[in-house]
Amino acid sequence: METDATISIAEMKHTLSPWRLFWQRLRRRKIAMVGGVILILLYLVALFAGFIAPYDYNHLDTDNSFHQPAWPKLSGFHFVVPRSEAQPGNFAYREIPNDTQPVHFFVRGDKYQLFGFIPASIHLFGSDGNHPVYLFGTDQFGRDIFSRLLYGSQISLSIGVVGIFLSFTFGLIIGGVSGYFAGATDTVIMRFCELIMSIPALYLIISLRATFPPGMSSSQVYAMIIIILSCIGWASMARVIRGMTLSLREQQFVLAARSLGQSNFKIIVRHILPNTLSYVIVAATLSVPYYILGEVVLSFLGVGIQEPQASWGNMLTAAEDVQYLQNYPWLLAPSAAIFITVLAFNFLGDGLRDAADTKA
Amino acid sequence: MWQFIFKRLLHMIPLLIGVSLITFLLMSLAPGDYFTTLQQNPQISPETIAKLKAQFHLDRPWYVQYLYWFKSILHGDFGYSMSYKIPATSLIFARLWNTFVLSFFAMIFAWGVAIPLGIWAAVKKDTWVDRSCSLISFAGLSVSDILLSLLALWFAAATAWFPIGGAQSPDHDLMSPLQQFWDFTHHLILPALVLAASDLAGIMRQMRSNLLDTLRAEYVTAARARGLGEGWVIYKHALRNAINPLLTIFGYSLAALLSGAFIVENIMAWPGLGRLTMEAFFAKDSYLVVDCVVMATALLVLGNFIADILLAWSDPRIRLK
């Protein structure tokens, strides 16, 4: 911006950049900030899942199936965990009095790979094998639900962001091209979008899922889920961007760029798409939950992430058994994680939308 | 008006053809078919399988299969389900009816609760009513159908007030028609409530913001200036205009409802289209998957069509365009 010498210092303080204004408005919305902080915490936990989780996602403890949540207790200056034993024949665990062991911090335990490539075995906390710390209990194979929840968060949380990034990139480019060139290109692209959007999402997801072979490795399944969700997600984005481009292309700065001889591609990417950015950020934040839920549903139905790999969806499959659900309600822990994540995204997205709306 | 309806109807045909083509193409890309598993069975000779494949045109390229399929659809015949070993037409329509009933009642529940709540929240803006409504709607938007369905199953098991899943009791066939009807309704209530609960939040928020928008309009101020009572102003002037934008979200909510029904059906064992799709998917009964997808799309497109007509009926600017 050109600074005029006549502008006083006081006035300059008020000419904030659009981003600063946006940030100021966002900061005033408590609920959005709460959502943002929760999300940062969740993603940090997912990043350090191996370290924070006391066990490996596939650490079987078959003597302790359906162990109820066992929280450490404060005794003097350190935490202790009690030992529980199941009654013969059922999974009613009872604490054994006066048999406790301290919880240690930064202990060696199951091997894991920090950030996916640094081999490590130090865990934030842990205890000896007879006195396990099962914060959220165990599942039918005696696997620690808390640890699996953390490992699952790596998949569920990252799929949302990667999926959004892919489908929004496609949506932006296709929508921009469609709106900029208009005419026949536009008609063909928009008819195709309508086609995709007129199929109820889950039916389309299942048809797309059918095209992939069974017996894929876990990373292939991960990529597959992202591809499937992106194949569907780009259409609605492209439609909105196309509408915005249609009006933006009539603006004078586009005419200026064109008369300067810039290529069509450059005009779309450099001049038109940046003008849709505030909408895109809001829409992306509000759409992440759909991608997370897409993964959850696929894995829940048994066609997504496969055992023993943990995802929030396939962990919930165990809760489909009414008998399990009644007796071991802690199997629902992943759904609480899903709820908190989606709620946080909605809080943040709602605040972003209000902050981006300059009319209000 | 009739011209408008006719044009919209005509628009649906290429859409449904396109959807069926895409689904067909996807299913033809799928590795293996229904007979792949049969091939492992030493009791079935390769000749028999080849004969069966030829009978279902599975030995032909996908576009030829499509033409055969399309031809039989025109005769109102959805083919023969390979996995169920019965004609697909009766199967599909029975399941479609169940999905329709489930979604329809869920919609009535959802709109019946969401609209009054939305109005109440808008009228009592910035009071505890409004705040608790917005909290509920945030929670409702964030809760997944999976959790709600699982909780409903748990509730049914814990209280024994409702049957656990399914659409009819084992002795359904022995009942009198009246008992059968009650049995079906009894099974329907819980899944419909679950589906409605997930749909409610969005409609409530929309109703609230629509009414708030119209309450700010000048004709509302004018009505108040003329000394009309607050109730008259809200219900006769503002509300009538706040309903219009709701008709547009009717279509969106229908799409969400069908996807939600997919999940609810699969968890609560409601024999609808979504459950049939999963069963056909696992059995590799590819024609049945295509049938399901096309029928679900038809349901959605028809719903949007009705929403368009309602909108055109209530807003002359649209039908005259």
Q: Mean pLDDT over residues A286-296, rounded?
A: 90
Give the total residue count for chain A: 360
Task: Tell me which residue has tokens 């490992």.
Answer: A151
When scoring B13, B259, B308 by the number of chain A Cβ atoms within 10 A, the one with the most, hence best to mutate, is B259
| Set of chain A residues whose Cβ sits within 8 Å of the Cβ of B281 | 206, 209-210, 303
DSSP string of A44-71, one letter each residue: HHHHTHHHHSSS-TT---GGGTTPPP--
Residue A186 to residues A179, A264, A275, B82, B219: CA-CA distances in angstroms? 6, 15, 20, 41, 40
Cis peptide bond upstream of B116, omega within 30: no
For residue B267, give the chain A residue with the closest CA: A320
pLDDT of residue A39 exceeding 90: yes
CA dihedral over B136, B137, B143, B145, signed as positive or negative: positive
Tokens, residue B127: 């009071």
Q: What pLDDT was estimated at residue A358? A: 63
| A346 touching B (Cβ < 8 Å) | yes
Among A200, A313, A319, whose Cβ lies nearest the Cβ of B150?
Answer: A319
- Chain A segment 215-274 residues within 8 A of B by beta carbon are none
For residue A211, give the chain B residue with the closest CA: B30
Q: What pLDDT was estimated at residue A248? A: 86
| Set of chain B residues whose Cβ sits within 8 Å of the Cβ of A211 | 26-27, 29-31
Q: What pLDDT was estimated at residue B321? A: 58
Given an 8 Å threshold on Cβ–Cβ distance, is B296 in contact with A199? yes
Residue B278 to residues A209, A274, B80, B194: CA-CA distances in angstroms? 11, 42, 17, 20
Cβ atoms of residues A60 and A143 within 8 Å: yes
The Cα–Cα gap between B220 and B208 comes to: 16
SS3 content of chain B, % helix, strand, coil (to 5): 80, 0, 20
The Cα–Cα gap between A155 and A305 comes to: 9
Element (H, E) at B47: helix B46-55
Per-residue pLDDT 10s for chain B (321 aa) are: 788 888 888 888 888 889 988 888 888 887 777 777 777 777 777 777 787 777 777 777 888 888 888 888 888 777 777 777 788 888 888 889 999 999 999 999 998 998 888 888 888 888 888 888 888 888 888 888 888 888 888 888 888 788 877 777 777 777 788 888 888 888 888 999 999 988 888 888 888 888 888 888 888 888 888 888 888 888 887 887 787 778 777 877 888 888 889 999 998 888 989 999 998 888 888 888 888 999 999 988 888 888 888 888 877 776 665
Number of Cβ within 10 Å of residue B187's Cβ equals: 23
| Set of chain A residues whose Cβ sits within 8 Å of the Cβ of B162 | none
pLDDT of residue A41 exceeding 90: yes
Cβ atoms of residues A140 and A68 within 8 Å: no
Q: Mean pLDDT over residues A260-285, rounded?
A: 86
Q: What pLDDT was estimated at residue A6? A: 55
For chain A, percent of residues with pLDDT exceeding 70: 94
Least Cα distance to A52 among A153, A130, A138 occurs for A153
Q: What pLDDT was estimated at residue A340? A: 92
For chain A, percent of residues with pLDDT exceeding 90: 12
Cβ atoms of residues A295 and A311 within 8 Å: yes
Task: Tell me which residue has tokens 């659809």.
Answer: B73
Element (H, E) at B66: helix B62-74
The alpha carbons of chain B give a radius of gyration, in whole angstroms, of 24
- Is pTM beyond 0.80 here? yes
Q: What pLDDT was estimated at residue A2? A: 46
- Count of CA atoms in the C-beta half-sphere (13 A) of A325: 25
| Set of chain B residues whose Cβ sits within 8 Å of the Cβ of A290 | none
The Cα–Cα gap between B72 and B24 comes to: 15
Given an 8 Å threshold on Cβ–Cβ distance, is B19 in contact with A296? no
Q: Which residue type, as a one-letter code, is found at position B156? A: A
Least Cα distance to B258 among B191, B195, B201 occurs for B195
Q: Are strands A118-126 and A93-102 parallel, antiparallel or unpaired?
A: unpaired
Window from A296-305, A330-339, B81-90, B132-141 with minimum mean pLDDT: B81-90
Partners of A86 in the β-ladder: A93
Tokens, residue B113: 């609760």
* Sequence-distant (≥ 6) Cβ neighbours of residue A189 within 8 angstroms: A174, A177, A178, A238, A242
Question: Which alpha helices (DSSP H) does chain A contain, by range?
Answer: 9-14, 18-27, 30-47, 49-52, 145-181, 183-198, 201-210, 218-248, 252-259, 264-266, 277-300, 312-316, 322-327, 333-356
Phi/psi for A214 (5° steps) reads -75, 170
Task: Tell me which residue has tokens 């096309």.
Answer: B294
| A210 touching B (Cβ < 8 Å) | yes
Phi/psi for A138 (5° steps) reads -125, 165
**Chain B closest-CA separation from residue A88 CA (Å):** 25
pLDDT-derived band at A329, boundaries 50, 70, 90: confident
**Chain A closest-CA separation from residue B154 CA (Å):** 6
Q: What pLDDT was estimated at residue A1? A: 44
The Cα–Cα gap between A174 and A190 comes to: 10
pLDDT of residue A181 exceeding 90: no
The Cα–Cα gap between B197 and B201 comes to: 7
Q: Mean pLDDT over residues A46-72, rounded?
A: 80
| Set of chain A residues whose Cβ sits within 8 Å of the Cβ of B140 | none
Residue B120 to residues B21, B116, B208, B219: CA-CA distances in angstroms? 47, 6, 8, 21
Residue B7 to residues B48, B201, B319: CA-CA distances in angstroms? 48, 33, 11
Partners of B160 in the β-ladder: none
In what order do the strands lie in the sheet containing A73-75?
A73-75, A78-86, A93-102
pLDDT of residue A5 exceeding 60: no
Q: Are strands A73-75 and A93-102 parallel, antiparallel or unpaired?
A: unpaired
Among A200, A296, A316, whose Cβ lies nearest the Cβ of B297?
Answer: A200
Tokens, residue A211: 């095209």
Number of Cβ within 10 Å of residue A211's Cβ equals: 16
Query: What's the mean per-residue pLDDT of chain A?
Result: 83
Number of Cβ within 10 Å of residue A49's Cβ equals: 23
The Cα–Cα gap between B136 and B130 comes to: 10
pLDDT of residue A13 exceeding 70: no
Number of Cβ within 10 Å of residue A223's Cβ equals: 14
Least Cα distance to A341 among A166, A134, A154 occurs for A154
Q: What pLDDT was estimated at residue B28? A: 83
DSSP string of A230-254, one letter each residue: HHHHHHHHHHHHHHHHHHHTTSHHH
Residue A291 to residues A225, A226, B251: CA-CA distances in angstroms? 9, 8, 21
Report the b/e string of B43-54 with b at 16+ CB within 10 A.
eeeeeebeebbe
- Measured CB to CB, residues of chain B less than 8 Å from chain A are 15, 18-19, 22-23, 26-27, 29-31, 138-139, 141-144, 146-147, 150, 153-154, 156-158, 164, 255, 258-259, 262-263, 266-267, 274, 277-278, 281, 286, 289, 292-293, 296-297, 300-301, 304
Cβ atoms of residues A163 and A230 within 8 Å: yes
Q: Angle B2-29/B62-74 helices, nearest 10 degrees?
A: 140
Cβ atoms of residues B275 and B166 within 8 Å: no
Among A202, A300, A322, whose Cβ lies nearest the Cβ of B153?
Answer: A322
3-state secondary structure of B116: helix
pLDDT digits (tens, 9 = 90+) for A113-137: 777 777 877 778 777 767 778 878 8
Among B263, B278, B297, whose Cβ lies nearest the Cβ of A198?
Answer: B297
Cβ atoms of residues B165 and B208 within 8 Å: no
